[in-house]
Structure 1
Amino acid sequence: MDNLVIASTKKTPGITFISNGNLSIKGSSFAEDAISFYQPALHWIEEFAKTSPKEISLTVELEYINTSSTTIVLKILKKLKEKSEGNYKLNLVWKYDPDDEDSFELGDMIQKIIKHPVLMVSVKKD
């Protein structure tokens, strides 16, 4: 299976989904069309789940995320959770700036919505 690598821009995060199960979304996310931007990631997850991975680790580190992007990132996390049940171990890491209370609260809310633990990691920005 091919890796999925999408370079970050001012409005979109970098997405790096490696076929060894290490996935990351990093940057800012306020694309005008979040659904179209994240569609390749959703498709990649569907295909990757068919390869019977033993473990997937996703790290999310978003400096800013708008409402439409939040909805689709949540959809990605739900899909990973859904596909993992009885199939593979899922590790989720949410990195946030300790000075950004909204980012922490979003990560905390996500773990409650998807009913899966999320490791909350404080990362001080320069």
Structure 2
Amino acid sequence: MENLIIEATKSSPSIRLDAQTRILEIAGESYPENASNFYAPIFAWIDLFLNQSISTPVTVNITLRYFNSSSAKALMDLFDRLEKAHADGTPITVNWRYHEENDSAMECGEEFKEETQYITFNMVGFNDDDC
């Protein structure tokens, strides 16, 4: 399976989905004009990927400085997919990375964490010295 790489734009995050390392990374800002259109090919790749290799752990690193409500819905759709994969036997770890001075990003991560039951959801604060 080929990797999926999408470069960041002013309004959309960078996406790095590596089938070999089993690491999915979403970073930057997410407020595309149509979030469902932006995330549709990403979800298609993830669905195919998760169905091809059950039981091998997957790590998801998310570092979003800002995202709008339609992107939040897309993220919840992602977490629902990850929850299902975990329930089907694929260990999933999400690392929600947020700048320690960005209270909004931290609070959103905590809300997403509360909405998940099965996946391991880590809150990972960082500061400018960690970059």
Q: Which TM-score band applies after superposition, normalised by the shorter structure?
A: over 0.9
Per-residue deviation, 1:39: 0.7
The question of 1:109 aligning with 2:108 is answered: no
Question: Which position in structure 1 is the counterpart of 2:43?
Answer: 42
Per-residue deviation, 1:124: 1.6
After TM superposition, the structure 1 stretch with the greater mean CA deviation from structure 2, 88-97 or 107-116, is 107-116
**Cα deviation 1:63-88 (Å, max 9, x = unaligned):** 10111001101111110111221321
Give aligned-pair identity as a percent. 26
Counterparts of residues 1-126 of structure 1 (less than 5 Å): 1-20=1-20, 21-53=22-54, 54-115=56-117, 116-125=119-128
Conserved? CA contact 2:11–2:32, under 8 Å: yes
Paired AA for residue 117 in structure 1 = T
Per-residue deviation, 1:117: 3.3
**Cα deviation 1:26-72 (Å, max 9, x = unaligned):** 00001010000011111011100121240110000001011100110
Conserved? CA contact 1:58–1:93, under 8 Å: yes
Paired AA for residue 116 in structure 2 = I
TM-score by length of 2: 0.91
Query: How many residues are aligned here?
Result: 126
Query: 2: distance between equivalents of 1:86 and 1:31?
Result: 31
Conserved? CA contact 1:29–1:62, under 8 Å: yes
Structure 2 gap ranges (5+): none
Query: 1: distance between equivalents of 2:88 and 2:44?
Result: 20
Conserved? CA contact 1:108–1:118, under 8 Å: no
Conserved? CA contact 2:92–2:120, under 8 Å: no
SS in structure 2 at match of 1:39: helix
Structure 1 gap ranges (5+): none
CA RMSD of aligned residues (A): 1.3
Paired AA for residue 126 in structure 2 = V
Runs of 4+ in 1 over 4 A off after TM superposition: none
Conserved? CA contact 2:99–2:126, under 8 Å: yes
SS in structure 2 at match of 1:57: strand
After TM superposition, the structure 1 stretch with the greater mean CA deviation from structure 2, 3-12 or 75-84, is 75-84
